[in-house]
A and B are shown apart, each in its own frame.
Chain A
Amino acid sequence: MSIIQMKNVDLYYDKHHALKNISGEIKERSITALIGPSGCGKSTFLRSLNRMNDMIQGVRIEGEILVADQNIYHADVNVENLRKNIGMVFQQPNPFPKSIYDNVAFGMRIHGMRDRKELDEVVEQSLKAAALWDEVKDILKKPAYGLSGGQQQRLCIARALAVHPQILLMDEPTSALDPISTAKIEELIGELRKQYTIVIVTHNMQQAARISDDTAFFLQGEIIEFDTTEKIFHAPSDQRTEDYIAGRFG
């Protein structure tokens, strides 16, 4: 079952043609890795899935992106609701300068949840789902900035999970972290796969090979190859994919 379908998506930053004729499908409850050299458009593509590109001036997008069979670029789409359903984790951990609890509760609060008990419950669930609960359950009222980088990133994952998204977009979520924190987050991503559809941008080829089911290889704004991770890494059909994976460029 595919949950996201891209149909001939083109994206321009003013004159610059950043995404060229992107088509494909992303399967539900799977991990899709986006790989490719810097500036190839994989982050741009990721941000177009929850319309975070709207924030950038001069962006124009053509074609269709369907999420659960609805074109998210249709004029009457509620963007806030879309982003609630498609969570995002960024490259740099970006917790709010608030307490750990308030960070996780932030999304629920802006979507109107006021009940203290319910909030407590979801905060606990989300922190548990992000494998952070045991480390922070006694310091929920402490500022989030007191946590380590890896903990902060898991907090950001918990924050995203708290609004119950169906899809989780991750933009190089471990590139700013040390190897141990990275391992923890990778393990967590594997765990989340059971409930969520995950699209992850990564610069780390081993990471893509380790955790993803499908892999899309981007080059200069195009998807060169999009297939199962198994096939991409062991029997790529395009020479450029093979060269990139073998480390011959990029």
Chain B
Amino acid sequence: MASIRGVTFLFLKEVGTKMNEVVLKDTRNRSAGNHSQKETPGIVQKKRMNREDLIVKSILFLCAMVSILTTIGIVAVLLVETLSFFKDVSLFSFLTDTKWTPLFKPEHFGILSLLSGSLLITVGASLVALPLGLMAAIYLSEYADDRVRRVIKPILEVLAGIPTIVYGYFALTFVTPLLRVIFPDMGVFNALSASIVVGIMILPMVASLSEDAMVSVPKSLRNGAYALGATRLEVARKVVVPAAFSGIISSFVLAISRAIGETMIVTIAAGATPKLTLNPLESVQTMTAYIVQVSLGDIQHGSIEYKTIFAVGMTLFVLTFLINLIAQWLKRRFKEEY
């Protein structure tokens, strides 16, 4: 917030000085005009651009501000409703209660049940997507020849554009029956199927972004390693991946954040039973799926049930924020600049 205010301040200050300059120049020109004859056209032209520049700059700045202001607005709403939620429910019971039953008596508000659901899905999805995505990226950037890459890369990007609702049906009607062949006791709604499909959903993102990061590692570094007798795998593991590390981490974080925030797949395939469990074969409810459930129901505005979705939303927000912080730290810690 402080930085945003700082930026705004700087901007206003700059606008101020620019305005002054323009005004000053105008008066100077006018006063000069009295003495000299006409304006001299030619090499040294007067700074006509100033005002135009300023207008363009202001418009662009406003465009940039839209997203910042939206974020501020969202955070503000979340904050207000969350604070009001915590007037009714103590933070302690929110964080330690193991049951989440805000919609029926006796009411419990233990976020852990939803958190474990989200965690289960996210960890499962990451286990699928991060290693596979990274390996796919290594294949594309280090092994595949140009023709193969030119075919696969666009396909990956198409995969990233499939609506999540489609993935949801895919999980429920294809993956789940398949899994039930292996685990006959597993219910129709379960965390496993959902997390696998969420993993499949975020995989192209990991692969594509990691590949971008790897391709931009200079060829000279690869040549240096090959000339020392490194194999392709050694070049990939010891030169390319470390040099592209910060880009790879960014792709991981984006993917994990998407997995946490993923709503449709888990709503459809993971079920609607908040449960403190780490067993992927059980039906769970994630934070996002809970928000969907409540938003679709006829909940009275301002009631405690209504406020829960903001508290849950806030928790989600804090979680993704934390992941971003960790990623920043990781990037700084292991950065190899070229």
* A interface residue numbers (CB < 8 A to B): 50, 52, 55, 57, 80-84, 87-88, 90, 92, 94-98, 106-107, 109-111, 143, 145, 156, 159-160, 163
A-B contact count (CB 8 A): 72
* Residues from chain A with Cβ under 8 Å of B145 in the complex: 57
Pairwise interchain contact B228-A107, C-beta atoms closer than 8 A: yes
Pairwise interchain contact B243-A160, C-beta atoms closer than 8 A: no
Pairwise interchain contact B336-A111, C-beta atoms closer than 8 A: no
| Bound Cα distance from A225 to B228, whole angstroms | 31
B58 close to chain A: CB less than 8 A: no
B102 close to chain A: CB less than 8 A: no
Pairwise interchain contact A98-B242, C-beta atoms closer than 8 A: yes
| Bound Cα distance from A42 to B155, whole angstroms | 41
B52 close to chain A: CB less than 8 A: no
B229 close to chain A: CB less than 8 A: yes
Give B229-242 as 1s and 0s: 1 = Cβ < 8 Å from A's Cβ atoms: 11100100011001
* Residues from chain A with Cβ under 8 Å of B39 in the complex: none
Across the interface, A80 reaches (CB within 8 A) one of B218, B229, B337, namely B229
CB distance from A84 to the nearest CB of B (A): 3
Q: Jot down 16 A-B pairs with beta carbons below 8 A, ordered by A.
A: A52-B226, A57-B145, A81-B229, A83-B227, A87-B228, A90-B220, A90-B223, A96-B225, A96-B239, A97-B336, A109-B238, A110-B234, A111-B229, A143-B337, A156-B224, A160-B227
B221 close to chain A: CB less than 8 A: yes
Q: A57-B145, A98-B242 are in contact. Are A83 and B226 (CB under 8 A)?
A: yes
* Residues from chain A with Cβ under 8 Å of B221 in the complex: 94, 96-97
Other CB < 8 Å A-B pairs besides A52-B226, A57-B145, A156-B224, 12 of them? A50-B227, A80-B229, A80-B231, A90-B224, A90-B227, A94-B218, A94-B223, A96-B221, A97-B243, A97-B336, A160-B228, A163-B228
Pairwise interchain contact A52-B223, C-beta atoms closer than 8 A: yes
* B interface residue numbers (CB < 8 A to A): 145-146, 218, 220-221, 223-231, 234, 238-239, 242-243, 336-338
Pairwise interchain contact A52-B336, C-beta atoms closer than 8 A: no
Q: Interface SS of chain B: helix, strand, loop or mixed?
A: helix
CB distance from A153 to the nearest CB of B (A): 12
Across the interface, A88 reaches (CB within 8 A) one of B218, B227, B239, B243, namely B227
Q: A57-B146, A98-B336 are in contact. Are A107 and B229 (CB under 8 A)?
A: yes
| Bound Cα distance from A94 to B242, whole angstroms | 15
* Residues from chain B with Cβ under 8 Å of A88 in the complex: 227
Q: Which residue of A lies closest to B224 (CB)?
A: A94
Across the interface, B337 reaches (CB within 8 A) one of A50, A92, A107, A145, namely A145
Pairwise interchain contact B230-A110, C-beta atoms closer than 8 A: yes
Pairwise interchain contact A97-B337, C-beta atoms closer than 8 A: yes
| Bound Cα distance from A107 to B235, whole angstroms | 11
Pairwise interchain contact B225-A163, C-beta atoms closer than 8 A: no
* Residues from chain B with Cβ under 8 Å of A160 in the complex: 227-228
| Bound Cα distance from A88 to B222, whole angstroms | 13
Q: Which of A80, A109, A111, A163 has the most CB of B within 10 A?
A: A80
* Residues from chain A with Cβ under 8 Å of B242 in the complex: 97-98
Q: Which residue of A lies closest to B231 (CB)?
A: A80
CB distance from A60 to the nearest CB of B (A): 16
Across the interface, B230 reaches (CB within 8 A) one of A57, A80, A97, namely A80
CB distance from A106 to the nearest CB of B (A): 6
* Residues from chain B with Cβ under 8 Å of A163 in the complex: 228-229
| Bound Cα distance from A109 to B242, whole angstroms | 16
| Bound Cα distance from A57 to B148, whole angstroms | 13
Closest 3 interchain pairs by CB? A84-B229, A97-B336, A88-B227
| Bound Cα distance from A28 to B264, whole angstroms | 70
| Bound Cα distance from A111 to B229, whole angstroms | 8
* Residues from chain B with Cβ under 8 Å of A84 in the complex: 228-229
* Residues from chain A with Cβ under 8 Å of B218 in the complex: 94
* Residues from chain B with Cβ under 8 Å of A111 in the complex: 229
Across the interface, A52 reaches (CB within 8 A) one of B227, B230, B337, namely B227
Q: Which residue of B lies closest to A84 (CB)?
A: B229
CB distance from B147 to the nearest CB of A (A): 10
| Bound Cα distance from A55 to B223, whole angstroms | 9
| Bound Cα distance from A87 to B226, whole angstroms | 10
Pairwise interchain contact B229-A106, C-beta atoms closer than 8 A: no
Pairwise interchain contact A96-B224, C-beta atoms closer than 8 A: yes
* Residues from chain A with Cβ under 8 Å of B228 in the complex: 83-84, 87, 106-107, 110, 159-160, 163
Q: Which residue of B lies closest to A87 (CB)?
A: B227
Q: Which residue of A lies closest to B227 (CB)?
A: A88
Q: Which residue of A lies closest to B237 (CB)?
A: A110
| Bound Cα distance from A132 to B205, whole angstroms | 44
